[in-house]
Chains A and B, each alone.
Chain A
């Protein structure tokens, strides 16, 4: 009979894989996102089995908590059309062959690498863990703030850059132009009259209240991105 640990692993590993497969095969992105959350939870459990308790907590908080929430928000904002019109376009046979080839190569490699290198004598549990609190916040924190301090600070910088970048990139054209106009827009009597600056800017720019066309349209030739 398998021990509790083995059972737990089996169950949650199976759940992780199953959720992953389901995620990748849903047409509705929200459903996919939810199943992805399930997969993340299972992975977190596996982390616990590997004595990476702190990491498991982080996994749940960041991945399942923050990231998937962001995903769902974006899905809502984009208001993705669910008619699946796009999905009805089948890729051409060559494209399909190409993708299968790519997948096949990767799969093949993974199998080969794993079976080749994972002979038992190489990969075993090492000597018993010296630290009683292996994988705890304390020990991880020590490592992080002593040995990997530079990397830590760099990553925080990276996050800052990502935040700013995301805000900048996600602005709409309207937002951009309005900002530009407002920055160069000296005070006039209309502004003094207390009119809304946004509307003012709209008038100046000649925008109708509903934007006629957004930026970032792909090439005029349209849908030649298809294969």
Chain B
């Protein structure tokens, strides 16, 4: 199984690029001048990612597509990291179908974003640092998806969290941005706590964190130790997966830990595109799909995931309707779309989730990059209320943005239509082992969220690109324009968003023989374990609904019905949005807002439901604890007593001892003798060494150094090199005469 394909070059090459840029980037720019230095920096960065990209694609086509790799995957054991007793953790990488998909997306989209960044960050002072961090992020993310065990995954997990912090707070001299970075990291950490707990539980059951071992333990289905074993009556699978889900809510911005994602827009826009749209936030989804067999054993958790996902999708969508910052809208849109992915995994539709992940990467990245181009054009203005009419001067951006909006709204034939529709289908039709209500709630919320999505995306589009420019003329004349280097990735991504959907052509539709559902086929080996569970408590599959599901498959009629419904909803929303906003901010909406109910709703939505403020209130309690720790434990106890106390004690003792040193030689001599006396005493008065008789002045009894001192053998090894091996001496001293006067001899 283990072949030396050097998989580790995929994450290693961006890591090398990152290290190079960190160490030499600044020096290069300083010494070779801005143009040449920056050229080298971004060439190194892009080259590293390009290498990973091409290597990934070549590996996939060579080994996986052609079917030559054993077991359908490439495994590499790079390095034994921890070998302790029975624990053996290695840096094992695996390139199977799932990680191949993720790698291709990550490296492909990442490459495009690196290219975009060259244009976007062209005038930034910390050019090298940006590309270094970006490469570091790529390395961490690739480690995450290529890991063969939870440990390596977690290494990457933490790595992306770190890079997210570094990149969000990239312009850290601005307090607000630095705070946003910190918030992201801390909220992530709360989630990571869950992941660690889950890792511990899994390790306790399985004895290893390797995915293959975990799969073996989950294979028995309801008889697996994960289900049989319980904690407080709850099965181990449920506990572990709940903890993992906590981590996923942190990393993938679901309720309750989504609050960092909107603030993360403080970072540079390409960062938002890469991390908070295409890759990092999908790590949670990847984790769940990777461990789908474990999650399948815990129907309660699945229900929770589905509900949380659906709720988040709707919740975030309602917030997005009222936002005026172009990036914030996209941020909430991301949260909402991630909710869809979690809805999918919660219903057991693993493949759909990955499908949506991929298509979302395409159109969301395109959206973010487009917004980046717009922000650059409007001279770092992000408020859509002062934009408008940009299509005239930025046609490529406008068209790609439009395509992506259509994709995200779920309009055929663009990518989002196929993936989102599939999710909604499975939300309604997949059997939930918990309750059938989940289907209704999930589908209902999902559909409502789709409506909102279409609405706010087109509101965004119209307010930004259509109508008349509402900003100042200086900006319009001098800044609003397109750069080819920023438009190129947009075009590529928009193209992918157009055709990508056909990778998931539904079975039920006619023509599916010619164009099979690529993702279903590709990811079949990943999900086959969980799909194979037949025990009633954990079975996955479609529930029988008359007319729609027959023989365990969706009929063409059902498929088309669902499609029609979602397209209709989306089209309606788009129509409403167009009617309201096609000429700019809508007077109609202004009038509506005077109605008290609407005003309250608007206030709630605009204020993000005041969740942040609520959290701040909760945190203030923790903050108080922190203050106590700082003021008392740190300042008083540790600094005062610990450090200060130690030094004070030393000074005190020193001061005391100093009195004895008056320079009087005789005193020193006397002290010397007393010291000698003490030394001798420690030998002669020590019962372990010296043996005394009943009375020291009794000359009959023998006293003296114990013969046992020589009777022990001494074996020492110094530094592993020098060996001392002194054998025990017998009690007989070589020169000792046997006692002459018949007094008792010494017994050894």
Contact = CB atoms under 8 A, between A and B. Distances in A.
A and B touch in the complex (CB under 8 A): yes
Interface in A112-166: 112-113, 115-117, 119-122, 124-127
A119 B741 contact: no
A21 to B, nearest CB: 19
Interface string B718-748: 0000000000000000011101110111100
Interface string B358-375: 000000000000000000
Interface stretch (A44-52, A97-105, A207-215): A97-105
A106 B670 CA distance: 10
Interface in A42-66: none
A112 B736 CA distance: 22
B678 to A, nearest CB: 9
Nearest to B696: A116
Nearest to B739: A121
Contact of A119 (B663, B671, B701, B736): B701
A122 B674 contact: no
A122 B741 CA distance: 11
A127 B745 CA distance: 17
Interface string A1-27: 000000000000000000000000000
A109 interface: yes
B741 A121 contact: yes
Contacts of A103: 673
Given A112-B684, A120-B741, A124-B737, A98 B667 contact: yes
B697 interface: yes
B650 interface: no
A120 B673 CA distance: 29
A227 interface: yes
Contacts of B744: 121
Interface residues of B, number: 36
B666 interface: yes
Contacts of A101: 674
B532 to A, nearest CB: 82
A206 interface: no
A221 B185 CA distance: 66
A106 B743 CA distance: 30
Nearest to B667: A227
A93 interface: no
A120 B703 CA distance: 11
Contacts of B692: 116
A121 B673 CA distance: 30
Contact of B670 (A98, A109, A119, A124): A98
Contacts of A106: 673, 676-677
Contacts of A125: 737
B536 interface: no
Contact of B703 (A105, A109, A119, A124): A119
A225 interface: yes
Given A119-B702, A119-B704, A121-B739, A105 B673 contact: yes
B696 A115 contact: yes
Given A98-B670, A119-B703, 16 more contacts: A99-B666, A102-B671, A102-B674, A102-B677, A105-B674, A109-B684, A113-B680, A116-B690, A116-B692, A116-B696, A119-B700, A120-B743, A121-B743, A122-B702, A127-B737, A227-B664
30 contacts: A99-B666, A99-B670, A102-B674, A103-B673, A105-B674, A106-B673, A106-B676, A109-B680, A109-B681, A115-B697, A115-B699, A116-B692, A116-B696, A116-B704, A119-B699, A119-B701, A119-B704, A120-B699, A121-B702, A121-B740, A121-B744, A121-B745, A121-B746, A126-B736, A224-B663, A225-B662, A225-B663, A225-B665, A227-B662, A227-B667
